Amino acid sequence: MKRILFAVIGLLALFTIIRAYAQDQEVENRYVIQPGILEFETTEGGARLAFGFLERAEGQGPGRTWNLFPVRLSLRAGTQSFLIAMNGLSFLSPAGLRVGRPVTIRGVRRGDVISIGGDVTVEGTVEGDVWTLGANITLLPGATVAGDTVALGGSVKADRRSKIGGNKQSLPNIKIPFLSLLGSEHSAATFRFIMEILGVCLFLLVLFLFIHFGHDQLSGLAAVLSTKWKGSILYLVLAVLIVPVLTALLIVSVAGILIIPFISILLMFLAYAGYVAMAFRIGLWLRKSSPDVGPAQAYSTGLLGLLVIKGPVLLGILFTLLTADFFQGIGRFLSVIGTIAAVAATIYGFGGVLQHLRTKVRGV
């Protein structure tokens, strides 16, 4: 496990070195990938997307709030520049993020509204921000937006009888890469499929690190998941009870702003390690093999387990691209099954990792 951590730290350092080297070069087109930052720069404009784990909202007086998974988007088009900050949890809400489809808000919508390639029409109240990429925003009479109203690559049309609590901004002439793909007829499914493929690539990278730097740890985790399932569930329940209380105590403390991001990274790493170990365990069960297998067989076993977990989701997305309602219904059903399987594997795998760490500590 220590070697895996050192390898991850080395990759982060490598990304930082690449970023520093790229900034020193005077080139017309530059694309930069760094942990927490995606950036591209051209002669006509550029964009920078930064994200993190925790942010303290400033300018709120005594009632300052904490923003989980903050996202900051900075865009430049010629002499114009633009910066927007928002709560990244909005991306996880199916009602908050729409891709390639028009959105109409009626009644009261709590949270931010994000649309990529689809116009947004507000007839009711939005208790948050409304922003679009490559689309327009229209506020009808009586509409209310508590936060900012922003259109990147589009315009904002607000009736004089509507209310905007924050800023009203638009950059209609800005060019956003790949927006034509996201604005196509099957853009939502295309976007999802791309994200799933990126998830598979991440899985392959983590599995490679496990096999070459922590093969014994991977075998131990697989053994724990199959033989000590009661302990895995027990430690999972304890984590669910303890982690929220610990987080609340850290938030009210002075050192919390420094400690919570590291705890978040650690928990996400342990959960994903459990997900990889669970996929490996499923592959071993299908091949009827023992955890002590060679590197090549371990790699193929992990891929087999991943196919079982993520296969229904990928197949479901492909079915939703078909025009027939019958096939689209099958696609939605397969996507739900695959999502449930992935969540269950991650949760149970996280408990198995905690059980495995406890066993290692006792052994020491």
Domain ranges (residues) in the chain: 36-182, 187-363
pTM: 0.60
Q: What was the pLDDT predicted at 18?
A: 43
Q: What was the pLDDT predicted at 174?
A: 63
Q: From first to last of its 364 residues, what are the pLDDT tens digits of the chain?
A: 555 555 555 555 544 444 444 444 444 555 555 555 666 666 666 767 676 655 655 544 444 455 566 677 676 666 666 666 666 666 555 556 676 678 888 888 877 788 877 889 999 998 888 888 778 999 999 999 988 888 877 889 988 889 998 888 877 766 655 555 555 555 667 767 777 888 888 888 888 888 888 888 888 888 888 888 888 888 888 888 888 887 777 766 666 666 776 777 788 888 999 999 999 999 999 988 887 788 888 888 999 999 999 989 888 888 877 767 788 888 889 988 988 999 999 999 999 998 888 887 775 4
Q: What b/e string do you get for 323-361 counting C-beta neighbours within 10 Å, with b at 16 or more?
A: eeeeebebbeebbeebeebbeebbbbbbbbbbbbbeeee
Q: What was the pLDDT predicted at 84?
A: 64
Token pair for residue 34? 């760094």
DSSP string, 322-359: SSSHHHHHHHHHHHHHHHHHHHHHHHHHHHHHHHHHHH
